[in-house]
Amino acid sequence: MTEWAYISNNLVYAAMAVFALSFVAHAFETAFAVRTPESKEVTTGSKLVQTLDYKRTEKAARIATTLMGLGFVLLFGGVIARGISNQHVPWSNMYEFSITGALAFTGAYLAALRKYDLRWLGLFVSLAALLTLGTAVTLLYRDSGPLVPALNSTWLVIHVIAAIISGGVFLFANIVAGAYLYLERIESRGARPAWLQRVPSIEVLDQLSYRLVAFVFPLWTFSVIAGAIWAESAWGRYWGWDPKETWAFITWVAYAAYLHARVTVGWRGRRAAWLCIFAGSTFLFNYVYVNVWGTGKHTYSGL
Amino acid sequence: MSQKVEVPEIGFIALLRYGWRQLTSMRTALILLLLLGIAAIPGSLIPQRITNPIAVRDFYINSPSEARWYDRFYLFDVYGSPWFSAIYILLFISLAGCVLPRSLEHYKAMRAQPPATPRNLSRLEYHQEFATESGALDRADAWLSKNRFRIRREGNSLSAEKGYLRETGNLLFHLSLILILVGVSFGALFGMRGEAIINVGERFINVPTTYDSLALGKLTNEKSLSPFEIKLDRFLAEYDPRTNQPLDYTAWVTIREDGKSEKKVLKVNKPLTFGSSRVYLQANGYSPVVTVRDSQGNVALQGPIPFLPQDGNLRSIGAIKVPDANPPVGFVGNFLPTNQRLEGQGSISIFPELLDPKLLFSIWKGDMGLDSGIPQSVYRLDTDTLEKVGLGSVKPGETYTYAEGSITLETVVPWVNLQVVKDPGKNYALLGGIVAVIGLLSSLYGRRRRIWIRETSTGVEVAGLSKNDAPGLETEINNFVKAVKEGR
């Protein structure tokens, strides 16, 4: 193992430790916000409260966000070091895909945080990052190595980065749709409990999951087409019903159905959320099942 | 009498019309779309002939009765099956039936004027009234033209609309899907795909007999093969000494086309192009070059025999069949590029390069049935009717002698598997793909909206309408109002 791969591993472990601390801080903040009576002003308004340093929840929230930022920086270093060690972009197997995906996910959260007060999501984001990295280092880890010849192409950068971004946003839309379903059930029984007060209204969540899908669907289409162009030059055919291609197609069809159901037929709320989750789970299935247990030309997990 | 004839006719046409309306309805299209997704699933879980014929064969060997039932439902050929085709053909008819009339409508709408200003603007969104100097409509006209709205001016009111690109994109996207389907079908009907194993030093000529396997589209024939030749001068496979993973494959070739010769380099991801045909480097392996002599010392066979790789270290299996020897002999071979003997496992290969090559074989005597007309794998020897006469192994330069003759391993040359593909439809599919993305972008991000302004006795009133709940109209109307007020 090269020096850089060693550095990368240590940075990834360090990032995990920091994300774990961030998770604890977020959990503390969420739990504490329920008990303090004055915290209601902080949490019901959706605007960023910038002063209020004396409020203990705010302090915890700031610590949590800072830790998230630190974890991001460490993970960024880890991903870069992995790339240097490989001498190619660090997403050629499932381990590398996972650490890059976790980086993109936390990065998107931190970027969104600059504009919106999304700190209610921090608990889930830190947990998701932690779980992704945990799975990556325990189950998916492969030594850093060179690319197999078929992957040695500029399309690796284009096709895979488009797939990573689309996948991240699809899964984010799934979380939002899941939150919608959960909150809708709670609200049908009465008011929200205190700790859910600062999550946006279910109408906003409903609209948000649609916006996310509509935003990223063209990118997913592009990712599939870029994959087809690459397949044409690497394998001699642009479409061959390889399991990964088939599931990419199924995901595409499912999201196309979702968009039509919303835009043309006017689905809203529960039905739309379920369809969104169904479509997202086809993506997840593709990522997990086809990579690990599937056959075909896309089994690069190295497992 | 005539009535009796007419009634079923009307009924039939009505039925057709009803059926057509049902088929082209959004609900049906949506169901078909979901059905297409679901129908694609079995093909990813059950081995398919197009992607994994060996797994299908194994399935047949392991559970023949189940396999026959699978085959009855085309489960090994899902993507070419009648039921899968039925779904996508119905979907595309439904799509065409929906999109083509809409395109016509949209074309008319684009040429038509925006609808007249509604009588009661105060009921609409972003309604506002304010006093302004005279000439408000001219200023409004100027601002709207500058922002590329389409404008209808009638009497004391002005109606403007923008954002047709949304529907244009939407229609383009759906039409491009039809183009992709046409491209795919065109490629399948007029294309061809073939594979050939070529040893280093050998020449590939693009005629049907050179191919190991050749699949022609339904509407094309062998004459459509483009005339070209490829001579494989040299092949180099590089491997990572740490992980044994392949790093790079390079084939140096001399191509000949239209009487001109040219040196080229062929790599994975970098195919050679001959018109609409492309040649890909798909696989590689080793061919032991052997000389087989009979007991009198006459050469019965000489040349490279391609062996099939079995693992990442290129342990390869193959069969050397010598029907012309007396008696006919055959060898079941195991070739190891870097031979190592392990306790309990026998000989294995520990590296894919030729560091310490060795050919191990068993020798069989008898009629191998090569003249029986039953096709045989060139890599396997059916030993059921043969008699085993020996076991041996040779390294390059060595000769192994047995009672019926001898075998010499002269040297080892690499082979490559060339895949030749002709797909005249792929450019249409690519064009369709590009248009699809552009269409999607403008249909998902486009905003269609209207702005109205009317002069009243006290000033003007303004209102707007956003057709797809798209944000941003409020800001736009505020800018518009500012322009009308200030004359900018």
Question: Are B37 and A253 an interchain contact pair (Cβ–Cβ within 8 Å)?
Answer: yes
Dihedral through CA A211, CA A214, CA A215, CA A219, nearest 10?
A: 160
CB atoms within 10 A of CB B5: 8
The token duo for B354 is 């030729």
Q: Rounded to the nearest 5°, which phi and psi values hold at B332?
A: -95, 115
Residues 402-441 of B with CB under 8 A from A: 419, 421, 423, 426, 429-430, 433-434, 436-437, 440-441
Q: What is the DSSP letter of B117?
A: P
Between β-strands B449-455 and B157-162, what pairing exists: parallel, antiparallel or unpaired? antiparallel
- Where residue B471 falls among pLDDT bands split at 50, 70, 90? confident
Which pLDDT value is given to residue A300?
58
* Residue ranges making up the domain that contains A185: 148-303
Indicate if the pLDDT at residue A251 is higher than 50. yes
pLDDT at A250 over 50: yes
Using alpha carbons, list the distances in angstroms from residue A242 to A227, A238, B35, B161.
12, 11, 19, 46
How far is residue A261's CA from residue A276's CA, in Å, rounded to a whole number?
10
CA A272 – CA A206 distance, rounded (Å): 8
The answer to whether residue A209 scores a pLDDT higher than 60 is yes
Pairing mode of beta strands B213-216, B405-422: unpaired
Q: Say how far apart CA A188 and CA B128 lie, in whole Å.
A: 38
pLDDT tens digits, one per residue of B477-488: 888 988 888 765
Yes or no, beta carbons of B29 and A146 under 8 Å apart: no
The answer to the question of residue A125 being in a domain is no
Q: Could you say which residues from 188 to 207 on chain B have a Cβ atom under 8 Å away from some Cβ of chain A? A: 193
Q: Determine the average pLDDT of the residues in A98-104.
A: 89
Residue A91 has a pLDDT of: 83
Residue where the block lists tokens 């699978």? B70
Check whether A203 has a pLDDT greater than 60. Answer: yes
**pLDDT at res. A302:** 53
Residue among B37, B47, B245 minimizing CB distance to A250: B37
Which chain A residues contact residue B423 at CB under 8 A?
A: 237-238
The pLDDT value recorded for residue A119 is 81
At residue A49 the predicted structure's pLDDT band, cuts being 50, 70 and 90, is: very low
Average pLDDT of span A7-17: 93
B243 and chain A in contact, CB less than 8 A: yes
State the total domains in chain A.
Answer: 1
Task: Tell me what the mean pLDDT of segment A270-285 comes to.
Answer: 93
Q: What is the pLDDT of residue A33?
A: 66
Percent residues over pLDDT 70 in chain A: 88
- Interface check for A290 against chain B (CB to CB < 8 A): the answer is yes
Mean pLDDT of chain B: 89
Q: Give the pLDDT confidence score for residue A37 in this predicted structure.
A: 45
Chain B from 299 to 358: CB within 8 A of any A CB: none
Mean pLDDT of A161-183: 90
> Cβ of A261 and B268 within 8 Å?
no
A157 touching B, CB under 8 A? no
**Hunting for tokens 């244009």 — which residue is that?**
B168
pLDDT digits (tens, 9 = 90+) for B417-432: 999 999 999 999 999 9
The per-residue pLDDT for range A230-243, each reduced to its tens digit, is 999 888 889 988 88
Q: Rounded to whole angstroms, how far apart are CA atoms A82 and A153?
A: 18
Distance CA B113, CA B154 (A): 11
Q: Which residues in chain B have Cβ-Cβ distances shorter than 8 Å to A265?
A: 26-27, 30
Asked if B47 is an interface residue toward chain A (Cβ–Cβ < 8 A), one would say: yes
ipTM of this predicted structure: 0.83
Find, in chain A, the residue whose alpha carbon is nearest to that of B273. A233
Nearest CA-CA partner of B121 in B440, B451, B381 = B451
Q: Which of A147, A218, A261 sits opposite B440 (nearest CB)?
A: A218
DSSP string, chain A: --HHHHHHHHHHHHHHHHHHHHHHHHHHHHHHHHH-TTHHHHHHS-SPP---TTSHHHHHHHHHHHHHHHHHHHHHHHHHHHHHHHTS-S-SSHHHHHHHHHHHHHHHHHHHHTTS--GGGHHHHHHHHHHHHHHIIIII-----PPPGGG-SHHHHHHHHHHHHHHHHHHHHHHHHHHHHHHHHHHHHSSPPGGGTTSPPHHHHHHHHHHHHHHHHHHHHHHHHHHHHHHHHHHS-S----HHHHHHHHHHHHHHHHHHHHHTS---HHHHHHHHHHHHHHHHHIIIIIHHT--STT--S--
Q: Quick check: A34 pLDDT over 70? A: no
Q: Report whether pLDDT(A190) > 90.
A: no
B455 at interface of A, judged by CB pairs closer than 8 A: no
B242 touches chain A (CB under 8 A): yes
Q: Burial level of B101, CB count in 10 A (0-12/13-18/19+)?
A: exposed
- For residue B418, give both structure tokens: 């060339």
How many helices (DSSP H) and strands (DSSP E) are in chain B?
9, 23
Mean pLDDT in residue range B52-70: 89
The per-residue pLDDT for A38 is 45
- Residue A31 above 80 pLDDT? no
Q: What is the DSSP letter of B126?
A: E
DSSP assignment of B341-393? EETTTEEEE--SSSSB-EEEEEEEES---TTSS----TT----TT-EEEEEEE
b/e sequence A227-243, b meaning 16+ C-beta within 10 Å: bbbbbbbbbbbbbbbbb
Give φ, ψ of A72 to 5 degrees. -60, -45
Q: What confidence tens digit (pLDDT) does each residue in B154-177 have?
A: 888 899 998 888 899 999 999 999
Q: Which of B44, B166, B211, B242 to mutate to test the interface with A (most CBs of A within 10 A)?
A: B44
Q: Do A237 and B193 touch (CB under 8 A)?
A: yes
Please say if the pLDDT value at position A47 is more than 60. no
Mutate to test the interface with B, among A154, A224, A238 (most CBs of B within 10 A): A238
Instruction: Please determine, for residue A53, whether its predicted confidence score (pLDDT) is greater than 50.
Output: no
Instruction: Read off the tokens for B237.
Output: 């496979």
Amino acid at B37: G
In the predicted structure, residue A48 carries a pLDDT above the cut 90:
no
Q: pLDDT at residue A54 above 60? A: no
pLDDT at A55: 58
Query: Which residues of chain A are within 8 Å of residue B429 when distances are taken between CB atoms?
Result: 228, 238
Best B102, B269, B445, B469 residue to mutate vs chain A (most A CBs within 10 Å) = B269
- B199 near B228, Cβ under 8 Å? no
Contacts of residue B44 in chain A, CB cutoff 8 Å? Answer: 241, 243, 246-247, 250, 290, 294
pLDDT of B55 > 50? The answer is yes
Residue A90 in domain: no
Task: Answer yes or no: is A37 within a domain.
Answer: no
| Closest A-chain CA to B250 | A149
In a domain, A273, yes or no: yes
B440 touches A221 (CB < 8 A):
yes
* Mean pLDDT computed over A57-64: 85
B239: which 2 tokens?
Answer: 């491997």
Quote the pLDDT of residue B326: 82
pTM of the model: 0.84
Distance from CA of A160 to the nearest CA of B (A): 16
pLDDT at B245: 85
Reading the block at residue B23, the tokens are 């088929």
Closest CA to A176 of A208, A215, A213: A208
Q: Spell out the long-range contacts of A51-56 with Cβ–Cβ below 8 A and sequence spacing 24 or more.
A: A56/A32
**Nearest neighbour of A238 by CB, restricted to B50, B270, B426:** B426
Helix (H) or strand (E) holding B473: helix B473-486
CA distance B387 to chain A (A): 39
pLDDT bucket at A287, cuts 50 / 70 / 90: confident
DSSP B183-229: HHHHHHHH-EEEEEEEETT-EEESSGGG-SEEEE-TT--GGGS---E
Distance, first Cα to last Cα, chain A: 18
Q: pLDDT higher for B54 or A299? A: B54
Average pLDDT over residues A85-111: 87
Closest CA of chain B from A88, distance in Å: 12
Of A229, A233, A246, the CB nearest to B40: A246
Q: Is A241 left (phi over 0), alpha (psi -120 to 50) or beta?
A: left
In order of A69, A271, B479, the CA distances from B472 in angstroms are 32, 28, 11
Residue B150 burial by CB count (10 A; 0-12/13-18/19+): exposed, middle or buried?
A: middle
Q: What is the dihedral of CA A254, A257, A259, A265, to 10 degrees?
A: -150
Q: Which residues in chain A have their CB less than 8 angstroms from residue B280's CB?
A: 234-236
Q: What are the domain boundaries of chain B?
A: 13-103, 113-163+447-486, 188-284+419-434, 286-414
Report the length, in residues, of chain B: 488
Q: Band the pLDDT of B300: cuts 50, 70, 90.
A: very high
- Is-contact A263 A207, C-beta < 8 A? no
User: What 3-state DSSP class applies to B398?
Assistant: coil
pLDDT tens-digit readout, B215-274: 888 888 888 888 899 999 999 999 988 888 888 999 999 999 888 999 999 998 899 998
Contact in structure between B127 and B463 (CB atoms under 8 Å): yes
| Residue A177 resides in a domain | yes
Q: In the block, which residue shows the tokens 């075909």?
A: A296
Select from A229, A41, A240, A274 the least CA-distant residue to B426.
A229
Single-letter code of the amino acid located at B257: E
B119 touches chain A (CB under 8 A): no
Q: Does A149 touch chain B (CB under 8 A)?
A: yes
Select the residue of B37, B79, B421 nearest A237 (Cβ to Cβ). Answer: B421
Candidates A153, A235, A245: best to mutate against B (most CBs of B within 10 A) is A235
* A228 close contact with B: CB closer than 8 A: yes
Instruction: Look at A75 and B472; give whichever has higher pLDDT.
Output: A75
Share of chain B above pLDDT 90, in %: 50
A295 in contact with B at a CB cutoff of 8 Å?
Answer: yes
The rounded distance, in Å, linking the Cα atoms of A198 and A120 is 7
Determine the residue type at A160.
Answer: V
How high is the mean pLDDT of chain A? Answer: 84
Chain A residue with minimum CA distance to B279: A236
In a domain, A215, yes or no: yes
| Alpha-carbon gap, residue B246 to B248, rounded angstroms | 6
CB contact under 8 A, A241 and B436: no
Residues of A in Cβ contact (< 8 Å) with B270: 233
pLDDT of B17 strictly over 80: yes
Q: Looking at chain A from residue 44 to 73, which residues have their Cβ under 8 Å from any Cβ of chain B?
A: none
Q: Which residues of B touch A263 (CB under 8 A)?
A: 468
Cα separation of B260 and B251, whole Å? 20
The CATH fold assigned to B113-163+447-486 is TATA-Binding Protein (3.30.310)
Residue of B nearest to A220 (CA): B437
* Single-letter code of the amino acid located at A26: H
- Is there a contact between B278 and A236 if contact means CB atoms under 8 Å apart? yes
DSSP letter at B459?
Answer: S
Helix (H, G, I), strand (E, B) or coil at B277: strand
Average pLDDT on B202-220 reads: 89
Of B58, B34, B432, residue with least CA distance to A255: B34
Dist. CA A141–CA A138, nearest whole Å: 6
